[in-house]
A and B are shown apart, each in its own frame.
Chain A
Amino acid sequence: MDDLTAVRDLLGAPRPSAEVTAAGRDRLLALVAEPPVRPLPKARRAARPALRAALWSTTALVLAGAAATTVVIASGGAPRAPGLVPGVTAPTEEPSAQRILLAAAASAAKSPSSGTYWARRVTTGTQLLDPTNQYVIEQRFASEEWLSQVPGKQSWSISQYLGAVPATPADEAAWRAAGSPRPWVWPGHEDNGQVFPGMRVEDQPGPREVNRRTGRGTRPFLVKMPLTQAELDSLPTAAEPLRAYLEERITGFAKKWPTIDLNAEMDARVTAACFEIIGHVPTSPQVRSATYQLLSTLPGITATGTVTTPSGQSGQGLVYRRAEAAEIGLEIHLTIDPETGLPLAEQSTSTEQTASGAPVKLVSTTTYDQIGFTDEAPRLS
């Protein structure tokens, strides 16, 4: 047998499922449909899976991936990330996830129900290994969405690259020992042509980019499908009807994709949709409250205790775990403030190896600086 044929036969060339093909296409189209933002390639290592892209890209991309992107693929182990600092509360005093969610449900119902804009401002920290794989650097991005709630008023997307630094004091020491290189440049192909330049991570912040959002670009996503204003306005305001609505939406989505096993996956997909609503969808206080109530009835969510976000806010950590494969767990980390019902941070973790072969945990954290209806106006300069 020809050796190349033998290799082909050994490894195969599986066809993608219809679901995977459609999901990838949706992600691409969401990205293509974005208004132009700061050129991203040089500020990002392209190889991270969807989540890392989603974290600092705009919401459309995050939401286009829906469950796949809000469900974090982590490499197992206890979530104990640099981004979020656990508190010192004694374990016996920690409230259960259910109590936290019900408290959030009560608080969320009291949040502002209208405003000139629905605003979402987040700061994202994404860690990656330096070009020599010896220490960890962290890139930071800020992004804002201002979705107009008033006819005729413009919606906006604002983004800014905030620069990069060694992640921890130990990383900074390693960086200094390496001669304090900056910016960080990966060996690429600039010398041989323009086909695939190496990555470059700037240490200095970039300009603030302000872009108009119009038409379909202003629509939020839920379960991989855009929500029309009519759908937004009619989202159920109680837990059970909300669950029924989400199941119907998920079933409608799954109809096209026979590979989805709804019997096995419905709870997980409903949970992921709830996290989407809390972190990304401009809904009424009543819908947010119902979402927290619904989450309190779903299995798999546990409390991780009091945590402090990178911006210094204190909240309650929740983790949703779902065993999916022997080696890989799916995890969502969300920190919320039960007293306001607002999300404070989302987090993902991946494990890589340094040049010396030591495992290193890389964390991506999205911190919410603002989310909800407001009469404030965006800063457009």
Chain B
Amino acid sequence: MTALSDVGDPLTKLDPDGFAALYDRHFAEIYGYVAARLGRQVADEVAADTFLTAYRKRHSFDPARGEVRPWLYGIATRLVSDHRRSETRRLRALLRLPADGEAENGHEDRVATRVDAAGVQGRLAAALAELSDGDRDALLLVALAGLTHEETARALDIPAGTVGSRLNRARRKVRAALGGSNPLEESNG
């Protein structure tokens, strides 16, 4: 979506206005991603930390390797990984969530309004909680951030093939939770 050219010069040459533009362009979506994983309260800090970290690490951004967006999501995912317990807590809360979506931080954080059955929703939350961290990272970068396999590979700095196998495994478990096939029948891989 956002090529480096969208923000002008390479990051190392960005002036304060340039970095502000980068922030303005991407903060809301990075926040949405982090809040979806950790809840709003933690996201208030972590989403902003993503950009502070990006600024400090701007010298390590290599435009030859791709776009800004996967790079930012990679940083955000790293920060999320330091809050695994918040993520687990949030998924546990979703397990108990009534179907009408009463959530931790009031109406703005309402979730699950379109997942109609509490049972399905609970199973889905449980499936997400049970994924390995690496599998969950790959799945949520695709599902929430809409990254391609290639971009996910760059964000996580793993080979594209690894993204593929992580996604396959994660999506199989999610589909099973949604009432699809039995994961035990497809557990090789």
A304-330: which residues lie under 8 A (CB-CB) from chain B? Answer: 325, 327-328
Within 8 Å CB of A6, what residues of B?
A: 115, 124, 174, 178
Q: Does A353 lie at the interface of the complex (its beta carbon under 8 Å from any beta carbon of B)?
A: yes
Q: Does A27 lie at the interface of the complex (its beta carbon under 8 Å from any beta carbon of B)?
A: yes
Q: Does A262 lie at the interface of the complex (its beta carbon under 8 Å from any beta carbon of B)?
A: no
Count the B residues whose beta carbon is within 8 Å of the partner chain — how many? 71
Complex Cα–Cα for A48 and B111 (A)? 27
Binary flags per residue of A1-28, CB closer than 8 Å to B gives 1, else 0: 1011011111111111100110111011
Q: Does A50 lie at the interface of the complex (its beta carbon under 8 Å from any beta carbon of B)?
A: yes
Complex Cα–Cα for A212 and B60 (A)? 26
B43-84: which residues lie under 8 A (CB-CB) from chain A? Answer: 43-49, 51-53, 55-57, 59-62, 65-66, 71, 74-75, 78-79, 81-83
Q: State whether B78 touches A28 (Cβ < 8 A).
A: no
Contact of A13 among B16, B33, B178 (CB under 8 A): B33
Within 8 Å CB of A325, what residues of B?
A: 41
Complex Cα–Cα for A29 and B55 (A)? 10
Within 8 Å CB of A194, what residues of B?
A: 60-62, 65
Q: Does B163 lie at the interface of the complex (its beta carbon under 8 Å from any beta carbon of A)?
A: no
Q: Does B3 lie at the interface of the complex (its beta carbon under 8 Å from any beta carbon of A)?
A: no
Q: Does A377 lie at the interface of the complex (its beta carbon under 8 Å from any beta carbon of B)?
A: no
Q: Does B4 lie at the interface of the complex (its beta carbon under 8 Å from any beta carbon of A)?
A: no
Q: Number of A-B pairs whose CB atoms are under 8 Å?
A: 179
Contact of B49 among A11, A14, A49 (CB under 8 A): A49
Complex Cα–Cα for A20 and B40 (A)? 10
Complex Cα–Cα for A360 and B34 (A)? 25
Within 8 Å CB of B60, what residues of A?
A: 41, 194-197
Q: How far is the CB of A128 from chain B (nearest CB, A)?
A: 10
Q: State whether B111 touches A15 (Cβ < 8 A).
A: no
In the complex, which residue of chain A has the Cβ closest to the Cβ of B48? A24
Specify the main secondary structure of chain B where it touches its partner. helix
Instruction: Tell me whether A28 and B55 are in contact in the complex, defined as CB-CB below 8 angstroms, given that A47-B81, A195-B61 are known contacts.
Output: yes
Q: Does A40 lie at the interface of the complex (its beta carbon under 8 Å from any beta carbon of B)?
A: yes
Q: State whether A28 touches B20 (Cβ < 8 A).
A: yes
B1-38: which residues lie under 8 A (CB-CB) from chain A? Answer: 16, 19-20, 23-24, 27-29, 31-33, 35-37
Q: Does B166 lie at the interface of the complex (its beta carbon under 8 Å from any beta carbon of A)?
A: no
Q: State whether B143 touches A4 (Cβ < 8 A).
A: yes
Q: Does A81 lie at the interface of the complex (its beta carbon under 8 Å from any beta carbon of B)?
A: no
Complex Cα–Cα for A44 and B79 (A)? 13
Q: State whether A7 touches B44 (Cβ < 8 A).
A: no
Q: Does A189 lie at the interface of the complex (its beta carbon under 8 Å from any beta carbon of B)?
A: yes
Q: Does B100 lie at the interface of the complex (its beta carbon under 8 Å from any beta carbon of A)?
A: no
Q: Does B186 lie at the interface of the complex (its beta carbon under 8 Å from any beta carbon of A)?
A: no
Q: State whether A195 touches B121 (Cβ < 8 A).
A: no
B76-121: which residues lie under 8 A (CB-CB) from chain A? Answer: 78-79, 81-83, 85, 89, 94, 108-115, 121
Q: State whether B45 touches A196 (Cβ < 8 A).
A: no
B134-155: which residues lie under 8 A (CB-CB) from chain A? Answer: 139-140, 142-144, 154
Binary flags per residue of A327-355, CB closer than 8 Å to B gives 1, else 0: 11000000000000000000000000100
Q: State whether B111 touches A11 (Cβ < 8 A).
A: yes
Complex Cα–Cα for A1 and B115 (A)? 9
Within 8 Å CB of B158, what residues of A?
A: 192
Q: Does A298 lie at the interface of the complex (its beta carbon under 8 Å from any beta carbon of B)?
A: no
Q: State whether B178 touches A1 (Cβ < 8 A).
A: yes
Q: State whether A10 touches B23 (Cβ < 8 A).
A: no
Q: State whether B157 touches A195 (Cβ < 8 A).
A: yes
Q: State whether B111 touches A47 (Cβ < 8 A).
A: no
Within 8 Å CB of B62, what residues of A?
A: 193-195
Q: How far is the CB of A345 from chain B (nearest CB, A)?
A: 23
B: residues with CB less than 8 A from A are 16, 19-20, 23-24, 27-29, 31-33, 35-37, 40-41, 43-49, 51-53, 55-57, 59-62, 65-66, 71, 74-75, 78-79, 81-83, 85, 89, 94, 108-115, 121, 124-125, 128, 139-140, 142-144, 154, 157-158, 171, 174-175, 178, 180
Would you list 20 pairs from A and B whose C-beta atoms are within 8 A, ordered by A residue? A3-B178, A4-B171, A8-B144, A9-B111, A9-B113, A9-B115, A15-B108, A24-B47, A39-B59, A44-B56, A46-B49, A46-B57, A47-B49, A47-B78, A194-B62, A194-B65, A195-B60, A195-B71, A196-B57, A353-B85
**What 7 pairs between A and B have smallest CB-CB spacing?**
A24-B48, A47-B82, A13-B32, A11-B36, A16-B31, A189-B157, A49-B45
10 additional A-B residue pairs with CB within 8 Å, beyond A6-B174, A29-B16, A32-B20: A10-B112, A10-B121, A13-B35, A13-B36, A16-B43, A23-B48, A45-B82, A46-B78, A47-B49, A195-B71
